[in-house]
A and B are shown apart, each in its own frame.
Chain A
């Protein structure tokens, strides 16, 4: 009898919380940070939705606890999979499995913010434009920042070049991390390449829509919007050991080579993690 009453009380309490959440949303009573992050929307609505994605890809997360418990930190990840689902999954995995449930702030291409709904949602979940000013600002505030130095070259590469890291931009991210005293955590994602294997592209449609590429996958565009459904590949997301860049800022001023070398080292570590996790994962789908 007591158990039933307790159960009922729990249900009523959670209904009450849900109603309070909706009331606060409807009246505009929720906090925002200046960059546009809406923590309540992110934790209350977006995170539960992304949880489904994590389950769908049967993601195995390794080393989330290696990300520092507090203070600035730069996550550097490989970018793949035609559509940048990997960013969303990495961010959720850290939030889900980190002891302090830190939410990484994703640095995204300007295309993201040009798209209706996508741009809005990206901002509200804490993303901002991939530029040095914004990276510096977030690190200064002690946030975890997630970058993809490969950019479009990584996410848009063909399936035949899967798991081969592309050029790491111009090492600007290393410079910012060194300047802000933020450790760099290499992140390797295995599985995104098979979710949307890009077997080709249609250049004229890309130009028409102002996109960097218009992808062709085994399902898209043949099945229309249904073709946007990712294949249920198996994913592994690994957070590596933090790398501290003490003194690199000073050295980098006199010798830019030092920054490029550090960038190459980070790239090498991620490539190694990719190979290891690919072997461990076995079959991409089963």
Chain B
């Protein structure tokens, strides 16, 4: 199996690369991203690459890739340098990648990380979303819309190349001490702003479980679109009690203003669709996923949150350094021959 992995600069991407390079089945692993991986990788070949370039076909062909793992979708605009840039990177990159995959005949499999945000959040939502419920009417704007459009390109690839095994994994919100998901940051605030009079329902996927699912999808064949989430749910109120956090209720009309203020101050990046999420929440039906993948999740939503709380208590809030600092750290570590870097 010759694998191409996108989005390797994220925690999820780096860790998945680590797992895949440890597998015999994976003969060759090529990782692409604009930024280098978070951790030292052994036999993974890293190539600094902007997926929006049509050169991606030449790479697929040259490296004789048969499996593409697309983790490149990004949720938070500020990290990507603004909303427009984010849309480019999410949608245009997937468009190019899907087109290249279609032309690249030896391709056997494509695994794409998507999000349950494609269902949107509104008071008119059913209690649980099944996979068929996604659609333009629901997704709204922003990241959710990007993810949906990216999925559409991948689905089109599936129609034109039915022999390719396509797996689209719509993950519920990630949580974990290492992963930098929007909710992990939100839950790390000293006082947590909530919408006054609203208590959203949601599910949480533990970071280790997310890796497990991605790895399984790469190594085994599980074609289809899946909601990846545990069966149990949390209310925001219950989550904050578990985390021993103090909620700060904000009147909903002020919530968007408060969110953008927090964003501008660099405290936490909350986008408009995440404000909707904090009002209405979102719960998906993981039935199809659990039937196909079996008992793969080790953590329930509540278990994942309790694990997050325990780990946070053990090693309180390590500040997240920008990626370039990480590179400098690694450079210095190489110079001194010692290990100044953290965790790697």
List residues of chain A with CB under 8 Å of any chain B CB.
25-28, 30, 32-36, 38, 110-111, 113-117, 119-120, 123-124, 128-129, 131, 133-134, 137
Q: Which of the residues B128, B252, B302 comes within 8 Å of A116, measured between beta carbons?
A: B252
Q: Which of the residues B123, B126, B252, B302 comes within 8 Å of A133, measured between beta carbons?
A: B126
Complex Cα distance A38/B234, Å?
11
| A36: chain B residues within 8 A (beta carbon) | 127, 201, 233, 235, 283
Complex Cα distance A89/B127, Å?
23
**Smallest CB separation, B138 vs chain A (Å):** 13
How many B residues have CB within 8 A of the partner chain?
Answer: 27
User: Does A26 lie within 8 Å of B233, measured CB to CB?
Assistant: no
Q: Does B311 contact A (CB under 8 A)?
A: no
Nearest CB in chain B to that of A34: its residue? B233
In this complex, the member of A35, A116, A131, A134 whose beta carbon has the largest number of chain B beta carbons within 10 angstroms is: A116
Complex Cα distance A32/B235, Å?
9
| B128: chain A residues within 8 A (beta carbon) | 34-35, 133, 137
Given A28-B242, A120-B197, also A34-B127 (CB < 8 A)? yes
| B239: chain A residues within 8 A (beta carbon) | 28
User: Does B241 lie within 8 Å of A28, measured CB to CB?
Assistant: yes
Could you pull out 8 A-B pairs where Cβ atoms are within 8 angstroms? A28-B239, A33-B233, A34-B232, A36-B283, A113-B123, A113-B124, A120-B197, A133-B127
| A120: chain B residues within 8 A (beta carbon) | 197-199
| A115: chain B residues within 8 A (beta carbon) | 197
Complex Cα distance A49/B196, Å?
22
Residues 122-154 of B, flagged 1 when their CB comes within 8 A of A and 0 if not, give 011111101000000000000000000000000
User: Does B198 lie within 8 Å of A119, measured CB to CB?
Assistant: yes
List residues of chain B with CB under 8 Å of any chain A CB.
123-128, 130, 196-199, 201, 231-235, 238-242, 252, 280, 283, 285, 302
| B238: chain A residues within 8 A (beta carbon) | 28, 30, 32
Nearest CB in chain B to that of A118: its residue? B197
User: What total of A-B pairs shows CB separation below 8 Å?
Assistant: 69
Complex Cα distance A246/B20, Å?
54
Given A28-B239, A116-B252, also A129-B126 (CB < 8 A)? yes
Complex Cα distance A128/B280, Å?
13
Q: Which of the residues A27, A33, A134 comes within 8 Å of B126, measured between beta carbons?
A: A134
**Smallest CB separation, B228 vs chain A (Å):** 15
Nearest CB in chain B to that of A33: its residue? B233
User: Does A119 lie within 8 Å of B123, measured CB to CB?
Assistant: yes
Complex Cα distance A117/B252, Å?
12
User: Does A128 lie within 8 Å of B127, measured CB to CB?
Assistant: yes
- A-B pairs, top 4 by smallest CB distance, nearest first, are A116-B197, A28-B241, A28-B242, A113-B123
| B199: chain A residues within 8 A (beta carbon) | 120, 123-124
Complex Cα distance A28/B308, Å?
15
